[in-house]
Amino acid sequence: MSALTVNPLREGIANRLTPESCTLVIFGATGDLTHRKLIPALYNLAAEGALPPAVTIIGFARRKKTSEQFRKELEEATRKFSRTPLDEELWASFASSIHYHQSPFDETEGYRTLTDEMEKADRERGTGGNRLYYLAVAPDQFPVILGHLRKSGLNTASPGSWARVIVEKPFGKDLASAQKLNGLVSEVFPERDTYRIDHYLGKETAQNIMVMRFANSIFESIWDSNHIAHVQITAAEPLGVEGRAGYYDTSGAMRDMVQNHLLQLLTLTAMEPPTSLSAEAIRDEKVKVLRSLRPLRGDQVFNQVVRAQYTAGLISGQPVPGYREAEGVPKDSVTETYVALQVNIDNWRWAGVPFFIRTAKRMPKGGTEIAVTFKSVPRVLFNQSGEGLDENVLVIRIQPDEGVSLRMSAKMPGSSLRIEPVKMDFHYGTSFGKATPEAYERLLLDAMSGDATLFARRDEVEEAWAFVDGIEEAWKTRSDDLAFHTAGSWGPAEAADLAARHGVTWRRM
Amino acid sequence: MSFSPGISVPIGGIERELGKLWEESGDSKTRASLINLAIYNEKPGSLERNTEIIGGIAGEHAMRAILIQADPKAAGSSAEAWITMHCYLRDSKGGSVCSEQISFKLAGDAARSLQSVVFSHLDSDLPLALWWQADFRPPVDGKLWRWVDRLLFDSRHWKNPSDQFDLIRRIAGLAEARTVLCDLNWARSLPVRQALAGIFDTPGTIPELRVIRELRMQHAPQHRTTALLLVGWLADRLGWKLSEPGQNPRFQDAQGGSVSVTLQESDGASVSSIGIASENAAFGLSRDAASDLYVTTAKGTSIPPSSRMVRAPREETREILLAELARGGRHPLYTRAVKAVQALWD
């Protein structure tokens, strides 16, 4: 037997890379993300034995509190937000690995004492010198934190160990700021150790897009402009800005949703088969899609993009105020809460196929889906008039009610020939009763395992911003294109017109 | 509470009667199926017991269930069938998801012709998992096993494990069969293997795996095969060769060192305690009676003392079956684990 460097007992236990012991330092540990997502995810991983036992969590934040107080707060949050009920004994076992480190982000001393704590964890818990830094803070805090990590030498690992950083979105607010941010991160951590989280990629159904396309021969052979008429990608939510007005009004739907989540879904839908399942091979193909997006500039933007704001209306029968009436939103805000755009991918596979992307707040119903509409059958036999025969539509539902459905035509029973659409429906929840893990569980394990497949690479982020910037630039030149729609409606008439110009109607979700 | 296999139907009209059942249930019920799960048992009353099991798992793993209670030694030939559905509420609007169940009571010739009587009622294009709740008997019938994608059994119940392992190896080796062997006893040991593997995720502990000198295991009565499978797994993963068979065997490790193994019966979980002593450290895993947690410990000359808890699933048939169905894939480590302790089965 050769020298053991990996745990031989792990083979065959789980079909994934094994996460490695490390110290996880969460900057912004008193924030919402830590309480609602990160700690509940880590608790569930620990409870299932998926987290290496030595993993040590250090919450780094400015507020004064003891580790005991911090654990108590996290316990309450986990009780509320965990997908599995909190077990007192399990929590006690898990919580013993959590420590609070109080320090301003800009004080060198705080990083020196952090070093001491991490070295102590290496000695006492066996974290092996591995470091995972999670920047759960606003981007304006990145420079100071990254600068101090470098100054303290915490960005480099000792031989045989690693130091990685997880960066939360938004990755900038435009291409220039994203480049600056990426430049800043890359001065401190190499790209291979930088993990940019887009939690949409951690969702089971987003991961299933590749499986569906490349593990089923029936789809890939018709996945091109010869067979597909158009594609609609929609992310709708009934919620308004809900206390995020300060951020949202400077961002808008384009930056908040399209630049990251929806363009990521677009790349998964349109990418070529990667040469392997490695992170680089997959991300190479995704970035090619972004590079193939036909840029939108000047007047093209006003032809192909509709922006709108919701006004007061009804959601689930309850009156809700308009966007400009929300607390913290300027009365003359022109920030879009609705955006619909038609984009083209200029490559061999997708030439001539319009892709429609739509996202909005205060929609009647929430949900994210990708709908692929196939071309109609020839105007012979059952389709001589070209009317009345619905196209085949394949819908991949990302959330909620994750699943896939296929609409096809069938003959109604009877002596006359009447053709009606029928739907074949696959629901994850119906077929697989097992609860799916939260996206953050998967993503945290991947970062500890060194698997960057489900994280955005620098060039992906920057290509996406380059595309979005063209639209934002055009919007800055005028604001009279801003449309309005009533909260609880499916969007403005202008969006319907945009689709209609391509002979398309927006899907009713 | 008794569990009925449902409405009695003529064997020739099973599909028609199932169709009627769906028509009568209206639009609120959705049929779902991932697999055909057939369960074969030769004991009276098994249809009711297995109906209860299916009722417990169908909500999490949609299927067409085919239950068979057979009496192959009976004279003549008789066959009876029943159908039912297991439905679970899916949403707040009252919609439910349903799995179908077809039950057969077969005797004599009918019980010896499973493939013609039973397997003509499979949901086509879906894999067939056959849970064999009886002893395997020679001769191995290739015509039967070629239908089976996954063969489920529980080696814990075997009175003669050596012969039974030999027979399932022959089934898996049939040229015309692609059957995956799924020992529920192996599935039962998975949480223990996971928890034990977790101890050695810490870099400092890995070298100790090369210098293990003693392995102690406490198992529940009638779970010696579960414990032996775990010993076989460790032996295979760590390159141990059996050097002294017996109740408490010895192995030789890859460096020529000796490893003593002690298996003790103790009430409680199937495997309630494992102690591993290496040259420089001691590792432990324990599960108290009625507890749903494993506690693992590690301590050594260069390993800081540590302890942690992880969830231990209930060791009920429902949980084990669901875990096995959810995992899928082949189990190459199982075959190797069985081989590593082959001489210890009797």
Question: A48 CB near a chain B CB, below 8 Å?
Answer: yes
Q: Which tokens belong to A336?
A: 């879009």
Confidence of residue A497 (pLDDT cuts 50, 70, 90): very high
Q: Above 50 in pLDDT, residue A461? A: yes
Quick one: average pLDDT of B12-39? Answer: 82
Which letter, b or e, does each residue of A57-72 get, where b requires 16 or more Cβ atoms within 10 Å of its Cβ? bbbbbeeebeeeebbe
Q: Which of B202, B238, B254 sits opposite A21 (nearest CB)?
A: B202
Q: Outline where chain B has alpha helix (H).
A: 14-25, 46-57, 114-117, 142-145, 161-172, 184-199, 224-238, 317-327, 332-340
A52/chain B closest Cα distance in angstroms? 6
Helix (H, G, I), strand (E, B) or coil at B167: helix
Res B1 pLDDT > 70: no
Q: Is A461 on the interface with B (CB under 8 A)?
A: no
Q: Which residues of A touch B333 (CB under 8 A)?
A: 11-12
The per-residue pLDDT for A346 is 96
Q: What is the dihedral of CA A378, A382, A384, A388, to 10 degrees?
A: -100
Q: Give counts: helices (H), strands (E), chain A.
A: 17, 18
Sign, CA torsion B73/B75/B77/B83: negative
Q: What are the Cα distances from residue A333, in Å, to A329, A490, B328? A: 7, 21, 54
Residue A58: strand, helix, or coil: strand
Whether B47 contacts B105, CB under 8 Å: yes
Is A1 in Cβ contact with B194 (below 8 Å)?
no
In the prediction, which pLDDT does A1 show? 42
The alpha-carbon gap from A257 to the nearest alpha carbon of chain B, in Å, equals 28
> E strand or H helix at B150, and its extent?
strand B150-153
Asked if B62 lies within 8 A of A431 by C-beta distance, the reply is: yes
**A9 with B237: Cβ contact below 8 A:** yes
- How many CB pairs (< 8 A) connect A and B? 130
Residue pLDDT, tens place only, A312-345: 998 878 899 999 999 999 999 999 999 999 999 9
CA distance A321 to A310: 9
Contact A10 B201 (CB under 8 A): yes
Q: How far is A166 from chain B (nearest CA, A)?
A: 22
Q: Which sequence spans correspond to the domains of chain A? A: 18-168, 201-437+455-500
Q: Give yes or no for a contact between A48 and A16, defined as CB atoms under 8 angstroms apart.
A: no
Window from A201-205, B56-60, B217-221 with minimum mean pLDDT: A201-205
> Predicted confidence band at A140 (pLDDT cuts at 50, 70, 90)?
confident
Mutate to test the interface with A, among B30, B88, B231, B308 (most CBs of A within 10 A): B308
Pairwise CA distance, residues A392 & A408, whole Å: 5
What residue has token string 């030769």? B42
Q: Which of B203, B209, B310 is opposite residue A47, by nearest beta carbon?
A: B310
Pick the CATH number of A201-437+455-500 from 3.40.50.300, 3.30.460.10, 3.10.180.10, 3.30.360.10: 3.30.360.10
Q: Which residue of B has its CA nearest to A449?
A: B201
Residue B92 or B272, more confident? B272
Task: Give the global pTM.
Answer: 0.83
Q: Give percent of chain A above pLDDT 90.
A: 69
Predicted confidence band of residue B176 (pLDDT cuts 50, 70, 90): low
Q: What angle do CA A33, A35, A40 make, to 5 degrees?
A: 105
Q: What is the pLDDT, as a whole number, of residue B272?
A: 96
**A-chain residue closest to B200, CA distance:** A7
- A16 close to A449: Cβ distance less than 8 angstroms: yes
Catalytic residue, chosen from A101, A148, A261, A485, is A261
Rg (CA), chain A: 25
Min Cα distance B252 → chain A (Å) is 13
Mutate to test the interface with B, among A2, A5, A7, A56 (most CBs of B within 10 A): A7
Average of per-residue pLDDT across A399-408:
85
Measure the CA–CA gap between B182 and B334, rounded to whole angstroms: 9
Question: What mean pLDDT, rounded, does chain B reach?
Answer: 89
Q: Check pLDDT > 90 for residue A166.
A: yes
- Residues B328-338: what's their mean pLDDT? 89
ipTM of model: 0.87
What average pLDDT does the structure give for chain A? 90
For residue B109, give how far its alpha carbon lies from the nearest alpha carbon of chain A (Å): 36
Name the residue among A484, A457, A72, A15 with its Cα closest to residue B330.
A15
Token pair in block for residue B23: 């028509």
Token pair for A429: 């929840």
Residue B92 has pLDDT above 80, yes or no: no
**Amino acid symbol at B10:** P
What is the CATH architecture of B186-317+332-344?
2-Layer Sandwich (3.30)
User: Is the pLDDT confidence value at B188 over 60?
Assistant: yes
The C-alpha atoms of residue A265 and residue A206 are separated, in whole angstroms, by 7
* CA–CA gap between residue B76 and residue A157 (Å, rounded): 77
Q: Helices B317-327 and B184-199: crossing angle, nearest 10°?
A: 80
Instruction: Please check whether residue A315 is in contact with residue A364, taking contact to mean a CB–CB distance below 8 angstroms.
Output: yes
Which tokens go with B308? 């942690």
Three-state SS at B152: strand
Q: What is the pLDDT of residue A27?
A: 96
Residue B170: both structure tokens together:
């022959």
CA distances from B89 to A366, B30, B95, B96 (A): 22, 10, 6, 4
Q: What is the DSSP letter of A259?
A: I
**In the predicted structure, residue A431 carries a pLDDT above the cut 50:** yes
Task: List helix spans (H) across A61-174.
Answer: 67-81, 88-95, 108-125, 142-151
Summarize pLDDT for B273-300 with one digit per residue, the tens: 999 999 999 999 999 988 899 999 999 9
The 10s digit of each residue's pLDDT in A61-94 is 999 999 999 999 999 999 999 999 999 999 999 9
Per-residue model confidence as pLDDT tens digits over A6-54: 889 988 887 677 788 899 999 999 998 999 999 999 999 999 888 988 8
Please calculate the CA angle B164-B165-B168 and round it to the nearest 5 degrees. 85
Q: Name the fold adopted by A18-168.
A: Rossmann fold (3.40.50)
A10 shares contact with chain B (CB less than 8 Å): yes
A35 is catalytic: no
Identify the DSSP state of A165.
Answer: E
| Mean per-residue pLDDT, B83-104 | 83
Residue B93, pLDDT above cutoff 70: no
Indicate the range of A141-150, A190-199, A399-408, A427-436 predicted with least confidence: A427-436
Bigger pLDDT: A350 or A220? A350
Mean pLDDT of B175-195: 89
Instruction: Determine, for residues A128 and B254 on separate chains, whether the beta-carbon distance falls below 8 Å.
Output: no
Buried b (16+ CB within 10 A) or exposed e, A355-367: bbbbbbbbbbeeb
What is the model's pLDDT at position B64? 92
Q: What is the dihedral sign for C-alpha A316, A318, A324, A327? A: negative
Alpha helix ranges (H) inside A3-66: 32-33, 39-47
CA angle B253, B255, B261 (to 5 degrees): 20
